[in-house]
Amino acid sequence: MIVLSSDKIPISKELDMVVFRNRLKELAVKIGMGLVNQTKLITAASELSRNMLRYANGGTVLMEIIKGPTQNGLRITFSDKGPGIADITQAMRDGFSTGKSLGLGLPGAKRLVSDFEIKSTVGKGTTIIITKWKNG
């Protein structure tokens, strides 16, 4: 897959999330993504970056515009060096939360995007890659 542009920003406090969301919105508008898909992507990104902030004390996000077989899209990589997730299947279940939240962040984010990939090693950190196609 061809990466057309990439942009990396750190997330270490809640204010960074606002910056991140705005940047993401700019990119989504740039590739001509519709309003509904924009909102879905931004919401998913917001869930994942908040998880990073809450459970791993922050991390970095990499935003890339990618050229797919038929259309362009955005690929976002969230990486943190937090405690990691012991049981990913459990974490991906609706309503499961180790915090006091609704437990919809991970499964909800997966439903909002076109492609969702999660890798986690306990004690080392978690990496989540999401992709949203322009009309996906």
Partner 1 sequence: MKLDTAKILQKKKKQILELWMKTQLVDFSLREDLMSNDELSGQSEELVDALLQTLNTASLDDAQADAFEPVRDVLDGISLSRAKQGYSPRETGMFVFSLKDALLGVLQQELKNEPVQLYEESMKISRLIDNFGIATFETFIKGREEVILRQTDEITEISTPVIRVWDGILAMPIIGTLDSSRTQVVMENLLQQIVDTSSTIAILDISGVPAVDSLVAQHLIKTVSATRLMGAECIISGIRPEIAQTVVHLGIDLSGIITKSSLASALKHAYGLLQLEVRKSIANKS
Tell me how far, at minimum, the Cβ of 96 lies from partner 1, in Å. 12
> How is residue 28 written in tokens?
């989504």
Cβ(71)–Cβ(133) below 8 Å: yes
Query: Quick one: 1 or 102, whose CB is closer to partner 1?
Result: 102
Tell me how far, at minimum, the Cβ of 37 lies from partner 1, in Å. 9
Query: Quick one: 95 or 123, whose CB is closer to partner 1?
Result: 95
Cβ-Cβ contacts under 8 Å for 51 (sequence gap 6 or more): 105, 106
Query: Quick one: 4 or 44, whose CB is closer to partner 1?
Result: 44
Tell me how far, at minimum, the Cβ of 133 lies from partner 1, in Å. 15
CA-based nearest residue to 51, from 43, 41, 62: 43
